[in-house]
Structure 1
């Protein structure tokens, strides 16, 4: 699936590369372009920002947008990763010890940040957060200093409900439960809807943290194949129908590590399948607000008519990983679990909840998202272009995410991603090997990188070091 602004950018890129629009030529203003194409100003802006991030156009202050001169050596064709097909079956998550070891390394602040998917501190609106927390404390009520409601403070639940309504989907405050981040929310729901030994359907390659969680909870997995376009809904239906699983764990918007965003038709179909087979969908929508488009994509929950979709998320990826505020939302069908949820859920710091509510109500959070999205789009594209240069000459593949900032690299089969991880660790660099994102070593020639930090000279050197290691491995194997 491609957004409209991406299709428009592709059309302009082809004209630039064909010489129909020449270097130095001035492009129509945003307003003119929007009128010509009969699109919104936001779509026009996103189109130009994408072209700018790709180095095809540039902006002159008070003059407009112009076509950039393209060096003859610039731009490498980057193929999307390929992923194997396989038969789905219920099984245990293997390598739990390795999962935990690598997870610990991924959050080691002394290493170069290419492992854990997190934003640079420079992209966090620290001043706005500070103002909101101070304002929340100033206007807090006496009861705010007592034990808090385990469901979450009503003000934050109302703020989230109103915030989502602006993006086109509606969840009532009484359905929202505030949690200590997204993973605790997923944990509570998995434990409430399944028992030890039960299977959970997951598309792979899939976020290794989710697989680690399932292993720790002693749940089995039923994998279905995924790729950079999404996953096959026929295979999902077969798993729902024949595997015996009553829960699937899905990310429809900018899945980690592949970055795909399912179409609205696919999301609607998933909601229909969930109801047809009475198989609950636990939807992890943690990356939706990191869209490269001005419009946040809708979740599967939007199409849920029968109450089989449990919506989960957090501000960890869009605001800060340090602010452990997440949520899960019980549909009316699961209202009978309320008492159980209250017992299982861990209360979240009340001042932080009130501060986040203020950030939303003051519009500072939405302003932050408006500024973050084009920055992320440009930053991710800078990473992709630098990676293309560093690994030039190597037969590698790289995803092109439509949002978020996870990059998935695939190398020739003889490249051992786990060996690369240990080499990088010795050099003070953290990456995550593809081995952890599924079973049967299907992704052992892959790695995942974080593009949430600025592409500093230090990070460029780290990426180049990885590229040199891959080249040396391939050269030595060719010589042998």
Structure 2
């Protein structure tokens, strides 16, 4: 867990970015702040000093601490409502093309959502892998358990429990990343031609997966606060959908985090309509608040929520270790889950388990979250400055590091994507985040790399 002063500083910082605390506003004195929060004077001082180090607070001699709010006045993206009906994903070839180009090594990485190598604890990870190999047993070098190594599953159980999520080791299946986890679950619980409810704009990789599995989609509108649960309930009741594919915590590309009340309601709707929720929680540990939000799974009493995730966004996109977690309701499918799952590299599993057990992963997360918060804020500021002559709307994510830009309707983001390719710049056009070209004037940018001069120049070129 984060230190108390870090948690308080993050809470104050969020109020500043949300405009709840205004530029030039005086903060309570250290003593008053300590009394209000019921903390020691030293903790209050550490909190203010951290805010000052981030450039969000300044000190006036003999006057106290004052807010130094970033000057950012820009509206968040707004998308019109639309009718829902079951349909195929129509742009699979374009999805595949964009995925391939988004990871080109010699391009500027504003496309694929991935962390900069500078934010990855490479040395700690290397030591954990070496230590895991040193202490491994001979049987670790034979065919491994297709459900995943018990040591890693035990590590995940204890790691999640620390954040208030309790899942049995026997319910965890280790996979080669989050997308393979989603694939196994979808293939086991649904069939070709079945419909899946997805809020859009939605991560294009999920839509590509559904298209490749020949599943239809039923879109419901998403917005910067989440999505309408009445609409979700209506489609659960009337669309014939077999499952919903949802991200409750820091959805890609919009970055929203559903309230606990909404998560509980979704779990209740799943039970009421006997509709499975396949929950992709891959960004949960990349929130800007020091405390990790709970997933929908936490409120699932009837066993309709399948919890999926990986460390690819919180640790490294190259570290292909993920999971899905079944419930007692799905015990009869266990053999099918195991049969469809692909064995994961044992040393990688053991290395991650060591990283968790020695608390290096927890330390990494505590350091990563404030860095991401500050980095995303820097991107949003620079984008607003670069696009100052354009009517642009910019998402304000609550976590994660994807940024969604909505440009004037006259802008075709696919044309922009092809132009950016000629400049060796990777972006993802909005057209692949839903159907009917309804997001054709939007683009998604990756803010996982530090805002270098090279990236600033790339943003200037796009503007």
Q: 1:349 aligns with which of 345, 354, 363?
A: 345
**Aligned counterpart, 1:305:** 301
Report the CA distance between 1:109 and its aligned residue: 1.4
Alpha-carbon contact 2:58-2:68 (below 8 Å) kept:
no
- Distance in 2, matches of 1:214 and 1:350, equals 29
**Aligned counterpart, 1:262:** 258
Closer, same or farther: CA 82–13 of 1 in aligned 2, 3 Å: closer
- For residues 194-213 of structure 1, the aligned pairs below 5 Å read 194-213=190-209
Closer, same or farther: CA 34–338 of 1 in aligned 2, 3 Å: farther
Offset from partner CA, 1:364-384 (integer Å, 9 cap, x none) = 000000000000000000001
Offset from partner CA, 1:407-465 (integer Å, 9 cap, x none) = 00001100111111001000000000000000001000000000000000000000001
Q: What is the SS of the residue equivalent to 1:226?
A: strand
- Aligned: 1:33 with 2:29: no
Q: 2:242 aligns with which of 239, 242, 246?
A: 246
Q: What is the SS of the residue equivalent to 1:90?
A: coil
**Aligned counterpart, 1:474:** none
Alpha-carbon contact 1:308-1:333 (below 8 Å) kept:
yes
Closer, same or farther: CA 51–410 of 1 in aligned 2, 3 Å: farther
**Aligned counterpart, 1:296:** 292
Report the CA distance between 1:156 and its aligned residue: 0.2
TM-score (norm 2): 0.92
Report the CA distance between 1:12 and its aligned residue: 10
Offset from partner CA, 1:300-339 (integer Å, 9 cap, x none) = 0000000000000000000000000000001110011111
- Distance in 2, matches of 1:116 and 1:452, equals 9
Aligned CA-pair RMSD: 2.6
Offset from partner CA, 1:375-406 (integer Å, 9 cap, x none) = 00000000011111101121110000010000
**Aligned counterpart, 1:5:** 11
Q: What is the SS of the residue equivalent to 2:403?
A: strand
Closer, same or farther: CA 43–197 of 1 in aligned 2, 3 Å: farther
- Distance in 1, matches of 2:39 and 2:343, equals 45
- Distance in 2, matches of 1:226 and 1:47, equals 36
TM-score (norm 1): 0.89
Closer, same or farther: CA 8–77 of 1 in aligned 2, 3 Å: closer
Closer, same or farther: CA 220–44 of 1 in aligned 2, 3 Å: farther
Closer, same or farther: CA 285–15 of 1 in aligned 2, 3 Å: closer
- Distance in 2, matches of 1:386 and 1:165, equals 38
- For residues 7-156 of structure 1, the aligned pairs below 5 Å read 9-10=15-16, 16-17=22-23, 19-21=24-26, 28-29=29-30, 33-38=33-38, 55-57=55-57, 66-67=65-66, 75-156=71-152
Offset from partner CA, 1:262-300 (integer Å, 9 cap, x none) = 000000000000000000000000000001001000000
**Aligned counterpart, 1:462:** 458
**Aligned counterpart, 2:3:** none
- Distance in 1, matches of 2:234 and 2:300, equals 20
- For residues 211-230 of structure 1, the aligned pairs below 5 Å read 211-230=207-226
Alpha-carbon contact 1:291-1:373 (below 8 Å) kept:
yes
Offset from partner CA, 1:219-276 (integer Å, 9 cap, x none) = 0000000001100000000010000011000000000000000000000000000000
- Distance in 2, matches of 1:219 and 1:278, equals 19
Q: What is the SS of the residue equivalent to 2:217?
A: strand
Number of aligned residue pairs:
452
Report the CA distance between 1:189 and its aligned residue: 0.4
Report the CA distance between 1:13 and its aligned residue: 5.8
Q: What is the SS of the residue equivalent to 2:269?
A: helix
Report the CA distance between 1:44 and its aligned residue: 10
Report the CA distance between 1:95 and its aligned residue: 1.1
**Aligned counterpart, 2:397:** 401
Report the CA distance between 1:341 and its aligned residue: 1.2
Alpha-carbon contact 2:48-2:57 (below 8 Å) kept:
no
Report the CA distance between 1:20 and its aligned residue: 4.2
- Distance in 2, matches of 1:461 and 1:391, equals 12
Q: What is the SS of the residue equivalent to 1:404?
A: coil
**Aligned counterpart, 1:236:** 232
Q: 1:447 aligns with which of 440, 443, 451?
A: 443
Report the CA distance between 1:110 and its aligned residue: 1.2
Report the CA distance between 1:107 and its aligned residue: 1.2
- For residues 302-341 of structure 1, the aligned pairs below 5 Å read 302-341=298-337
* Structure 2 unmatched ranges of 5 or more: 1-8
